[in-house]
Amino acid sequence: MRRLVHSLIMSGIIGHTLYAELALREVVRQKHRWAGVMQAHRASFHAGAYIGSDIQVMPEAVCVDTGKEVGFGTVPLERSPITGGAVRRFRLDTPDGPLTATRVHERFYGRAHLVFGWTQAEKELRVPWDHLPEYFAAVIADLGDKDERALAYTLGWIVHVVGDSLIKGQQPGIELNLVDGRYTAKNRPVQDLISYHDIGIAELGMDWPRDLTAMASTPVVDIQLHYMRCVEPRGKLASLFPDGWVPAAAPTLRAVLAENRRYVRQHALDEIASMQLANGECSAALREKSGLTLAEMREAARAAKFRGMLNTMTTQITTMFEAVNMRIRA
C-alpha cells in the first residue's frame, strides 16, 4: 500500500531549506567571512535552518491498523492517511516520561525561535528583534572558532529565526499576498511547489533528494542546547541573557533532538513524494488544498511577486549576518 502520510501537510522543510540556500548563495556572492564555512558544511547549514528550530519534527500519531507512524508533530490528525482508520497519539519516550509533539512544542519551541512561540508562562523570555544580533553574536562567541560544522549549523538556525519571523508576520519586513494571504493553509502548497520546482530545481539546480538526505544525516550539535538555554549557564550568552536557563531539561531535549533526526529522514522522503508532478500537474491532494492547478499556482506566485519577496527575505537574513558579524568583531 502506498504511503501518503504527508500529502496534505506542509511542514516547512522545503521553505526553510530554500531560504538557507538563497542566503548561502548571496553570502558567497558577497564573499562574506562565513561563506566558506557554509559551503564546506552545507548539510549542517541546511539542518540548522530546519531542525535547528523546528523541534516538533516527529510523528503526530500512529496508525492503529498498521502500527506505522503518521502525520507531522502538532498538526491534528483524526484518521490514518494510510487506511482511513483510527490513530493514537505518538508519544516520545524521554527522561521526563512520554511526551506528545504538542508537549514538546510547548516546552521547547520558543527557546529555538526566540522571537515568538513561547508559552504564556515563559513569555518574558521572548527576545525582541532588535536584541537578536546580540543574542546570535553571544552564541557564536561562546562556540569559538574550532568547530566549523557547529558554526554552520548555528548560522542555519539564524536563517530560520529570521525567515520564520518574517514569513509568519512576527516581524515587519516582507510583503506577500499569495492566494489568500501571507502564510496560510491554502497558499502553503503554492509556496512549496514553486520553491521546489521553479526556484530550487529550475533556477538554482538543487538536487532535493540529495540535499535533504544529507541534511537528515547530520548529527546533534551541543551548541543547540546552549542557544536554547537548556544547559548550565555559561559564557557571553549567560552574561547578556541570564534568565530562563533550565539545565535540568538537557536530557529530555537531547532525546527530542535525536528524535528530530530520526524522523526527519522519513519526513523528507514524504515531502519529496508530495512534490512530484504527473503529466505536468501536481497531486490531487495539493490541488484540493490550494484550490488551484499547478499553472494557476504559478500565475498566483507571479502576481504576488513571490520570487521578489524571497529576495527581500534573503537581504534581511544577510543583513542580520552582518549585524552579528559586526558585534563579534567589536
Q: Is residue 142 part of a domain?
A: yes
CB 136 within 8 A of CB 223: no
Distance CA 54, CA 312 (A): 23
**Owning domain of residue 159:** 13-56+126-329
pLDDT at 7: 39
CB 253 within 8 A of CB 225: yes
State pLDDT tens for residues 4-62: 433 345 579 999 999 999 999 999 999 999 999 999 999 999 999 999 999 999 999 99
Q: What are the distances in angstroms from CA 242 to CA 28, 114, 125, 207?
A: 35, 14, 10, 42
Q: State how many domains the chain has.
A: 1
CB 9 within 8 A of CB 71: yes
State pLDDT tens for residues 267-298: 999 999 999 999 999 999 999 999 999 999 99
C-alpha cell at 155: 548560522
**Spans of the chain below 50 pLDDT:** 1-8
Q: Which are the contacts of 211, defined by CB distance < 8 A and separation ≥ 6?
A: 17, 21, 42, 43, 46
Q: Is residue 107 part of a domain?
A: no
Cα 183–203–172 angle (5° rounding)?
Answer: 30
Q: Is residue 66 part of a domain?
A: no
Q: Is residue 298 part of a domain?
A: yes
Q: In terms of Cα–Cα distance, which of 14, 17, 35 is closest to 26?
A: 35
pLDDT at 6: 39
Distance CA 222, CA 87 (A): 34
pLDDT at 3: 40
CB 116 within 8 A of CB 165: yes
Q: Is residue 62 part of a domain?
A: no
Distance CA 79, CA 85 (A): 5
Q: Is residue 176 part of a domain?
A: yes
Q: Is residue 102 part of a domain?
A: no
Q: Is residue 96 part of a domain?
A: no
